[in-house]
Chain A
Amino acid sequence: MASENANAKTHIIPPEFLEPNWRLWSFILLIGIAMVALFQFPMKPFEGYIDPFYSPTLLIVPVIGLFRLTCYAFRKGYHRHIFVHPVQCELNARIDTPARHYSGETGFLRIENLHRYFMYFGALILPFFYYDFYLSVVYAGAFTLRLGSLIMLADTLVLTLWVFSCHSVRHLLGGNVDCYGCRFAPKQRNGLYRLQSALNAHHEGFAWAGLIMIVFVDLYLRALAAGIPLDMTLLHLAHL
């Protein structure tokens, strides 16, 4: 085990990045094509709806992308399905070879340690999504709840749950505390920590649901802008 760790520390570029692995290079190509397409076909505000990829600006998408790529849930996904290494946590099931040890958060993958800072950025973006929902319901001059607004709200709630169920938030709320009794408001803080821990158990689900929802909202709004009649008004309160 000691020699394995010593071997891992010699890598600046993890061995997974140096292999002729079609999965890795196709994924990098996919991200490149997707970014070019997002820049090439910007989605302007349409009938009060603002596409989440462009809120507040498309320029923050790479940072949000890094937040996703350093998230524990997605790390599990790309290690298993893109690097195909390690495919499980147990040492005897990782498909390690002498030339291909699991190097963990070393070398280039030290960036995974910066997840906490990307999380702060992700949390700062959330109010924009709530404001976009607000704009979509007051767009017609009165409170008008449309199907698109509901979908945007569902997306925003899932993204909020994803951000606040993050392991970094768990560390901030109580994971870094050795003695609650020695701190300010110990019962309240411990209660908050327990609540967040309950959310944290579902972090992976929120992460994938958030990814599905943000793609769905983008496609839904592009379909509306293209003239496909998918939207409907659910509630219109003209005299408020």
Chain B
Amino acid sequence: MKRLIPPRFRYPLFLAGLLIIIASGYAHRYAGAPLWSIEISVTAGFLLFLASIVA
């Protein structure tokens, strides 16, 4: 199956996706970031994490 993401970018995307998700949680809890912005950042983080595995 043809993969879209070159292997060398797969781990950086995996790491970035999960770090964005965790950082969003901390931003919401400690920096009072609004829920709508957390929704966007967590969705973006999850999509990066997903892409690093399936794309």
Interface residues, chain A, CB within 8 Å of chain B?
Answer: 23, 26-27, 30, 33-34, 37, 41, 80-82, 87, 208, 211-212, 215-216, 219, 222-223, 226-228
Contacts and interface: CB of A to CB of B under 8 A. Distances in A.
A219 B19 contact: no
Nearest to B50: A212
B55 interface: no
Contacts, number: 47
**Taking chain A's interface residues, is the majority helix, strand, or loop, or is none over half, making it mixed?**
helix
A228 B35 contact: yes
Given A27-B15, A81-B7, A37 B53 contact: no
Given A37-B26, A212-B53, 17 more contacts: A23-B11, A33-B19, A37-B22, A37-B25, A41-B29, A81-B14, A208-B54, A211-B53, A212-B49, A215-B18, A215-B21, A216-B46, A219-B21, A219-B46, A222-B25, A223-B42, A226-B35
Interface string B4-28: 0001001100110011011001101
Interface residues of B, number: 22
Interface of B: 7, 10-11, 14-15, 18-19, 21-22, 25-26, 28-29, 35, 38-39, 42, 46, 49-50, 53-54
A222 B42 CA distance: 11
